[in-house]
Amino acid sequence: MRTKRDAVKIGDYCVLITPEALIKRLNELNKNYGIDFKAVNYVKSDDLSKANAHFYGDISRFYYKDEDFAYQREYRLCLFEEMPKDHFFNVEPFNNNEVLICKSEGVCDLRFF
C-alpha cells in the first residue's frame, strides 16, 4: 500500500491556487467546453458500483480508483465534447492574489476543506 510519503516526489517548488480561483476557472471550462469535475471515489478493486459503472458505460466509471491511491486526494475532469484541436483549454490567467509559489517542503501535510 502506498502512503502520502510516495507523493512527496513533487519537486522543490509548487503553485497553490485559491479554491475560489480554481472553481471560477472550472466553471469557465464547463461553460466553454462541457466538462465534468468531481472528486475520485476510492474503492476496493472488487467494488460492485465500480464494476456496474464500467459495465453500463456510465460517466461515473472515470471517477473510480483503487483505494490504495486514496492518499492522492485526486479530482478529475471529464470532457463531454471533443478535445480542442490544439489540446489546450483557454482560461482566464490567474492573478497574483489567486496563486502562491512556494517551496514544496511540508505541502503534503496541508489540508484543504
Q: Kindly list the domain boundaries of the chain, sorted by start residue.
A: 4-109
Predicted pLDDT at 41? 92
Query: How far apart, in whole angstroms, are the C-alpha atoms of residue 2 and residue 68?
Result: 6
Distance of alpha carbon 88 from alpha carbon 86, whole angstroms: 5
pTM value?
0.55
Residue 26: its pLDDT value, please? Answer: 84
Digit-coded pLDDT (tens) for 8-57: 556 777 778 888 888 888 888 888 877 878 889 999 988 999 999 888 88
User: What is d(CA 105, CA 90) in angstroms, rounded to the nearest whole number?
Assistant: 31
Give the bridge partners for 35, in sequence order: 79
* 8 A C-beta contact, residue 29 and residue 35: yes
Residues 86-106, mean pLDDT to the nearest whole number: 77
For residue 69, give every residue at least 6 positions away whose Cβ sits within 8 Å of its Cβ, in sequence order, or none. Answer: 2, 42
Higher pLDDT, residue 16 or 84: 16
